[in-house]
Copies of this chain bind each other. A is one copy, B any other.
Amino acid sequence: MGKRVPTIYTVADHAGVSIATVSRVDRGHPSVADPTARRVRASMQSVGYRPNGAARALAMQRHGAIGLVFPQMSGPYYTGVIVGLEEAAAGLGQGVYIVGTQGRVRPEQLVTDLSRRVDGLVLTGRTVPDELIAELQRQRLPVVLLARTAVGASDVVRTENTRSAQRLTAHLIEHGHKTIAFIGDPDSSPDTAERWDGFLKAHRRARAGAPKSPELSALRETEGRATATRLLGSRARPTALFCANDEIAMGAYAAAAELGLKIPADVAVTGWDDIPVARFLNPGLTTVRQPLTEIGAVAARLLAERVNGSRRHASTTVLPTEIIIRSSCGCQPQGGIW
């Protein structure tokens, strides 16, 4: 018959000590005599004791976990962030809960539920409405926002966009391109908005004619491919495509191949993110590297500071980006040094 799950009492009885001693042994408290500790450990083993984390969390008034909410985990972008976050969190003694909101019926409910079991939350992009974020803050839950505009007094982690976008665009202009299309939706995220901004700045700076508007596309291969196909098939075909991320750029590669256009001879392409596969594309994709794992790691650290109370004021962290020149922009394969 299903015997009850062994608890700290089971172990205490078995070892002939009090539950306090069992707890101390489990936590590695130094003040337990060696023979006792050995006996207790043997008992734990022998009854098959697995301490109940919920009870501990309740007693310690700390969940020992943080939550990460992302829109679509599928892409390499979030994978990188998650890896960085998980690793840093583990180092800080925090577990990591994940929740994807893409395609969920009631994402807000998921996030609310999640908020009950963590010491802090990392929210990315457009996963959660502002009101909910505000509500969580009212509940005094530490929140870090990634790739998202600030709400109230939360911490924010971002990466540099405008400046790199401007330089990358200038690079394309130097390659002689007159008509460069921007593929992406500035309204979809502050990051993309800043990239569009830098794109325009570079044109102004070079006194070059800029497109009046971006070519809208979601940050995904399929959408990028469709948009690129349309652009490259038109009469006034642009000679360069500034893609808001690498996945769009990959779509552009596919579109170009389909239309028999050579990259970069017929059309130059640049991406953003430097996802792992970028350098394996043919030709190598010129792009902008974001420190993905670092983003996650910083978020974890910020949360830890809030949780242990060592910091009370909201902070904004902007991580640097780096332009990676390969050959899709028209440079020689070995690549220039930026």
Contact of A50 among B76, B99, B116 (CB under 8 A): B116
Complex-state Cα separation, A63 to B113, whole angstroms: 13
Choose among A74, A117, A254 the residue with the greatest number of B CB atoms under 10 Å from its CB. A117
> In the complex, what residues of B have CB within 8 A of residue A49's CB?
139
Complex-state Cα separation, A207 to B131, whole angstroms: 68
Inter-subunit contact A116/B5 (CB<8 Å): no
Interface string of A259-287 (1 = CB under 8 A from B): 00000000000000000110011100000
> In the complex, what residues of B have CB within 8 A of residue A253's CB?
280, 282
Interface string of A139-178 (1 = CB under 8 A from B): 1110000000000000000000000000000000000000
Complex-state Cα separation, A52 to B53, whole angstroms: 13
Inter-subunit contact B97/A56 (CB<8 Å): no
Contact of A99 among B74, B90, B277 (CB under 8 A): B90
Inter-subunit contact B58/A52 (CB<8 Å): yes
Inter-subunit contact A280/B50 (CB<8 Å): no
Minimal beta-carbon separation of A309 from chain B (angstroms): 8
Complex-state Cα separation, A115 to B130, whole angstroms: 34
A209 interface hit (Cβ, 8 Å): no
Mark out the residues of chain A between 60 and 97 whose CB falls within 8 Å of any chain B CB in the assembled complex.
63-65, 73-74, 76, 79-80, 82-83, 86-87, 90, 95-97
Residue of B nearest to A309 (CB): B2
Inter-subunit contact A117/B53 (CB<8 Å): yes
Inter-subunit contact B104/A99 (CB<8 Å): no
Mark out the residues of chain A between 89 and 132 whose CB falls within 8 Å of any chain B CB in the assembled complex.
90, 95-100, 103-104, 110, 113-118
Inter-subunit contact B99/A52 (CB<8 Å): no
Contact of A79 among B74, B87, B103, B254 (CB under 8 A): B74
Minimal beta-carbon separation of A282 from chain B (angstroms): 5
Inter-subunit contact B276/A74 (CB<8 Å): yes
Inter-subunit contact B95/A97 (CB<8 Å): yes
Could you jot down 28 A-B contacts, CB within 8 Å? A49-B139, A50-B115, A51-B116, A52-B58, A53-B63, A53-B116, A54-B57, A54-B58, A55-B58, A57-B117, A73-B79, A74-B79, A74-B276, A76-B76, A76-B79, A86-B98, A95-B97, A95-B99, A96-B97, A96-B99, A97-B98, A98-B98, A221-B280, A250-B277, A253-B280, A253-B282, A277-B277, A281-B282
9 A-B pairs besides A50-B116, A64-B117, A87-B100 with CB distance below 8 A are: A73-B83, A74-B83, A95-B97, A95-B99, A96-B97, A96-B98, A221-B280, A250-B277, A280-B281
